[in-house]
Amino acid sequence: MNRSGFGPTADVLRDHREFGAGLSGALSTEARRQWVQEQILTISLNNILNPDVTAIGIAAVRGSGGLFAVQDFSRPVVDLSLEQQEDKVISLLKSSGLPGAIATEDARTTCKLDEPYKMPLRCT
């Protein structure tokens, strides 16, 4: 699994891409399609069987190129107060080398906006 705990690692994806690329000339379209489906099933089962995953959303739609499906796996998120969220973010920033990170009133105001904050353009 990757760092988030969901899905394959970068190494697994690289191996699948390399193997899949090798299939392009050697196997029929049907054989390549079946191989891709098996890989997706493997990844899906790894997520479904992950004890940290508590919910799954699946959707499918028929398009001009065939049937397209997506899946979304999720896990619970700790319900933190605004102060606890600020403390967590500041802790992560400090551990990443930003020792002067602090919560400001401007930051709190920005978080309350209904629309994303847009930086004013500055021409020099």
Place of tokens 């978080």: 111
- The three-point CA angle 17-70-33 to 5° equals 45
Highest averaged pLDDT of the listed ranges 59-63, 81-85, 113-117: 81-85
The pLDDT value recorded for residue 91 is 92
Indicate whether 115 pLDDT > 70: yes
The rounded percent of the chain whose pLDDT value lies above 70 is 71
For residue 7, which of 72, 67, 77 has the smallest C-alpha distance? 72
Averaged pLDDT, 65-72:
78
Neighbour tally for 82: CB within 10 Å:
11
Phi, psi of 85 (to 5 degrees): -65, -45
